[in-house]
Structure 1
Amino acid sequence: MVKSPARKMVSGNGLFYPTIGFASCLAFIYLSFGDLWVNFDEQPKMGFVERNGTQFMVDGRAFYINGWNSYWLMDQAVEGYSRPRVRAMLQAGAKMGLTVCRTWAFNDGAYHALQISPGRFDEQVFKALDHVIAEARQQGIRLLLSLVNNLQAYGGKTQYVKWAWQEGIGLSSSNDSFFYDPSIRLYFKSYLKTVLTRKNTITGIEYRNDPTIFAWELINEPRCITDPSGDTLQEWIEEMSTFVKSIDKNHLLTLGLEGFYGPKNPKRLTVNPPEEWASRLGSDFIRNNEISTIDFASIHIYPDQWLKAQKLNVKLKYISKWMASHIEDGDQKLKKPVMFTEFGLSNLNKDFEPSQRDRLYKTVFDAVYKSAKKKGSGAGSFVWQFLIEGMEEYNDDFGVVPWERPSTYQLITGHSCRIAAIQGALVSQKTHLKKLCLRRR
């Protein structure tokens, strides 16, 4: 999902909740001294995340993920007044026992564009991404970095098509030409190479050599509706994933799918949302993810968009089936981890209550925990989306400031504790989890 700016900063009633006053103070320090007050030379040790069959591994042991989405980190790191929000969010995530944040490593042709035009980059924005990565490492958080958007927010494939059209070399004005136009493919490969080989101006580490990056995501929610057979998208996935792997030997790679089954998996079509639209998007969960250059699968969960007329109980029952199907496929067919990289419940639903969102979160967390206990492929989940107070313009109808609602906060931190009980706490988690999990005994 996403999305365009439209988003919340934090009030707190606890010992470590970020506050507006705290962020304001940080803003003053940043404006005065930039990054000089942070000793990025003393970088916490962090190993690359690897894959062993259906499990992620780090430092020789299984790694299950309680993560979140804050897609706005790079955008907010550009300006001094908003940069403290990056640290506040990453610190808050760490204090909840979270380990990975999914965020955008793209902004094509829009405000605060990273890529101004094909092959031309804004160094100030690149330094903002440098800052996000360096700050994440300081807080013990890894990043799942997405590389382009299927949607129009922050440019996306639409912007690439516009660039080719403006230069008079585009084959078609269709957004889907992003996947098949040779010139646009070259644009995107140039972008990929620039990002993967970027040397962080703060840490001195090339992105491809930085274990702070958990993995790369090729594209957020790819769809190619002009070719429902799926052949066009499949060819693009194979070409681009091979290209990424030729440059970066260290990091895992995922596609960024929503998880819909395609026409080549007729037995699984009944798992898709009702009606046939989901099988006609040009994507196919099994086919797209089974190639060797894709290391793990991604799935999104938006029951109120897929089952709009249904009651919450029906939606939750469907989500349990949706998750079980994909975890089974990860275990038996793909033999790779599967990650639920976006899930949420809209507050625009009729008769919405925050407790309904808690029920969805619990459903997702329970399914991941059940799989993790069995050493299965259900490797983690990422709430869409977390914010801190003062970010109303970035909120959407799924946004959450988790510490504002105690029951939500307890669900999230409780999930961190029970995952840690399976795999053990990471070094970066030990201090926070000791405080969180002892309270629950």
Structure 2
Amino acid sequence: MMWKRRSVLGAGLAGGAALVLPGCVASKADKSGFITRQGSKLLRGDEPYRITGANMWYAAWLGADTEYGDRARLMRELDRLKATGINNLRIMASAEEGPLMNSIKPGFTHADGTANKALFEGLDFAMAEIAKRDMTAVLALSNFWEWSGGLQTLLWRITGEYVDNGDPDHPWPEYGDATAQFYTNEAARALYNEHLDAMVGRTNSVTGKSYADDPAVMSWQLANEPRPGGSDAMIEKTKDAYYDWIDASFARIRALDPNHLVSLGQEGTTSANGNEEIVLRAHANADYLTAHIWPLNWGWVKGDDLAGTWATGEKNTRDYIAVHQRLATQADKPLIIEEFGFPRDGEKYSPDVPTTFRQRFYGEIYSAVEKSWTDGGPLIGSNFWAWNGEARAKHEDFRFVNGDGAYMGDPPHEPQGWYGNFDTDADMLALVKANADLAQSLASKAEG
């Protein structure tokens, strides 16, 4: 969206300085219903807020009153999740249309930068329904990866150049290094700020309530998995600009909305090629730390030999959790494992394939979370990736095609059914519900 303030905002906020935007008045709502932070805890009112969550990136698309939307399905999916004990959803509040091969269309902004009103209003509808069910949402304002356009597309709008992730002529880490140039490009950052201002400063068209005054928003998140680069050389080159973008964006959000938490959306040490110092510095002004865990994507297990490689995946998962609990303790901030995913048996995609090893993997995550709950540790919850619900792949090759309306948790660049849980995955849903039931039991004991 092109705003007249672009020339004013393009300079950014060096060092994360405070910001007052023309015509914007920071809200001072009663914060009793909002999620707040106290040390390594999240609170709702005076009680601990434990996250029993899921990822549902496509909520705004279903909420749109268009040919690609499906509001009735959105409400059914939210009812299913609520019945399973889910209290928090991580969803996309952005998508940038452009030339990238696998990016979702439509987006929140068209290729020329103008706003897609229908998708903004789709998010409004989704947030209104989330609030009705006493759930909260983490709203991501962009993406490091190509599947929603993201930072690479913002760069393309300025430079006219782009790199497709997975292009054999540009193997990794070229995509990561190319996208990291966003942090040093002030014009691309100005485009990001335009969407941030439009979203954080928005009034919900369904409820008439400003997003800043809506307790259903738990956190604004700068982007999905923003990395400082792909190669060690690029990370070293761009890390200071990366920190500046993070701090400036947090300050900008807080100036518009002092009521809500802010988060980065980082995977953890994997995002920084193992550098713990970068993770801590990147989260210096965040309200909580995040970790994402992907054993198959990271080579810890093999999809065609999950039984033979499980022991390595299990050990690495436990070690990764332990590292991030230590970092969260050091920072005195909460930790959320806000993405974790594992394939079905044999790395198949159909909902009729068993989930034997996925159940084991979820068990590892939930065991760590539950131990932290009972021991008073910093790991306060998790969001599994992701919710497919009643959606089913439309094509025999399980690939998404632009124009498909059966949105599911597996984004358009991935096989449909790779990581998402369907409404028929009874064993998986039982695990999720058991985790949520424990959280509710702990809350009830505290109230008693």
Same fold (TM over 0.5): yes
Of 170, 176, 180 in structure 2, the residue corresponding to residue 176 of structure 1 is 180
Of 288, 297, 300 in structure 2, the residue corresponding to residue 305 of structure 1 is 297
User: What corresponds to 1:328 in structure 2?
Assistant: 326
- Distance in 1, matches of 2:381 and 2:427, equals 21
Aligned-pair CA distance for 1:261: 6.1
| 1:196 aligns to 2:205 (yes or no) | no
SS at 1:362's partner residue? helix
User: What corresponds to 2:127 in structure 1?
Assistant: 133
User: What corresponds to 1:295 in structure 2?
Assistant: 287
- Alignment deviations for residues 338-357 of structure 1 (CA, whole Å, 9 cap, x no partner): 00000010237569951100
User: What corresponds to 1:413 in structure 2?
Assistant: 433
Change (3 A) 1:259 1:139: same
Give me the identity figure in percent: 23
Aligned-pair CA distance for 1:425: 8.9
TM-score using structure 1 length: 0.76
Task: Please provide the CA RMSD for this pair.
Answer: 2.6
- Distance in 2, matches of 1:194 and 1:298, equals 25
Q: Report 1:82-97 matches (<5 A).
A: 82-97=70-85
User: What corresponds to 1:63 in structure 2?
Assistant: 49
Contact 2:294 2:342 in 1 (8 A): yes
Aligned-pair CA distance for 1:118: 6.6
Of 238, 242, 264 in structure 1, the residue corresponding to residue 251 of structure 2 is 242
- Alignment deviations for residues 151-186 of structure 1 (CA, whole Å, 9 cap, x no partner): 11121111101111249xxxxx93322111111111
User: What corresponds to 2:364 in structure 1?
Assistant: 363
Amino acid at match of 1:318: N
- Distance in 2, matches of 1:250 and 1:108, equals 27
- Distance in 1, matches of 2:333 and 2:295, equals 25
- Alignment deviations for residues 287-318 of structure 1 (CA, whole Å, 9 cap, x no partner): 211x2x31001100111222145611221122
User: What corresponds to 2:8 in structure 1?
Assistant: none
Aligned-pair CA distance for 1:244: 1.3
SS at 2:362's partner residue? helix
Of 408, 419, 428 in structure 2, the residue corresponding to residue 398 of structure 1 is 419
- Distance in 1, matches of 2:80 and 2:274, equals 39
Q: Report 1:198-213 matches (<5 A).
A: 198-213=202-217
SS at 1:220's partner residue? coil
- Distance in 2, matches of 1:348 and 1:234, equals 40
Of 149, 157, 162 in structure 1, the residue corresponding to residue 151 of structure 2 is 157
| 1:53 aligns to 2:39 (yes or no) | yes
Aligned-pair CA distance for 1:200: 0.6
- Distance in 1, matches of 2:95 and 2:279, equals 26
| 1:217 aligns to 2:221 (yes or no) | yes
Change (3 A) 1:129 1:240: same
- Distance in 2, matches of 1:64 and 1:408, equals 20
Change (3 A) 1:348 1:72: farther
58-67 or 45-54, larger mean C-alpha shift:
45-54
Amino acid at match of 2:63: A
Contact 1:149 1:156 in 2 (8 A): yes
- Distance in 2, matches of 1:426 and 1:387, equals 33
Amino acid at match of 1:357: R
- Distance in 1, matches of 2:343 and 2:335, equals 24
User: What corresponds to 1:316 in structure 2?
Assistant: 314
User: What corresponds to 2:136 in structure 1?
Assistant: 142
305-314 or 322-331, larger mean C-alpha shift:
305-314
User: What corresponds to 1:381 in structure 2?
Assistant: 382
- Alignment deviations for residues 54-88 of structure 1 (CA, whole Å, 9 cap, x no partner): 00000211111110011111112223662222111
Contact 2:60 2:126 in 1 (8 A): yes
Contact 2:344 2:357 in 1 (8 A): no
Contact 1:304 1:349 in 2 (8 A): no
User: What corresponds to 2:279 in structure 1?
Assistant: 285
- Distance in 1, matches of 2:271 and 2:124, equals 38
Amino acid at match of 2:207: T
Contact 2:344 2:356 in 1 (8 A): no
- Distance in 1, matches of 2:240 and 2:321, equals 26
Aligned-pair CA distance for 1:406: 2.6
- Distance in 2, matches of 1:262 and 1:82, equals 35
Aligned-pair CA distance for 1:262: 8.0
Change (3 A) 1:335 1:165: same
| 1:422 aligns to 2:442 (yes or no) | yes
Contact 1:161 1:174 in 2 (8 A): no
- Distance in 2, matches of 1:208 and 1:154, equals 24
Amino acid at match of 1:345: F
- Distance in 2, matches of 1:180 and 1:188, equals 13
- Distance in 1, matches of 2:436 and 2:142, equals 29
Change (3 A) 1:399 1:426: farther
Of 70, 91, 112 in structure 2, the residue corresponding to residue 103 of structure 1 is 91
- Distance in 2, matches of 1:375 and 1:279, equals 27
| 1:72 aligns to 2:19 (yes or no) | no
- Distance in 2, matches of 1:354 and 1:46, equals 40
User: What corresponds to 2:23 in structure 1?
Assistant: none
Aligned-pair CA distance for 1:396: 4.0
- Distance in 1, matches of 2:220 and 2:277, equals 19
User: What corresponds to 2:411 in structure 1?
Assistant: none
- Alignment deviations for residues 114-171 of structure 1 (CA, whole Å, 9 cap, x no partner): 122576212111111110100111122111111101011121111101111249xxxx
| 1:227 aligns to 2:234 (yes or no) | yes
Runs of 5+ unmatched residues, structure 2: 1-30, 98-103, 162-176, 303-307, 394-399, 401-407, 409-415
Runs of 5+ unmatched residues, structure 1: 1-44, 168-172, 264-277, 428-441
Amino acid at match of 2:442: I
Amino acid at match of 2:420: G
Contact 1:68 1:382 in 2 (8 A): yes
Aligned-pair CA distance for 1:283: 8.8
SS at 2:218's partner residue? strand
Contact 1:90 1:141 in 2 (8 A): no
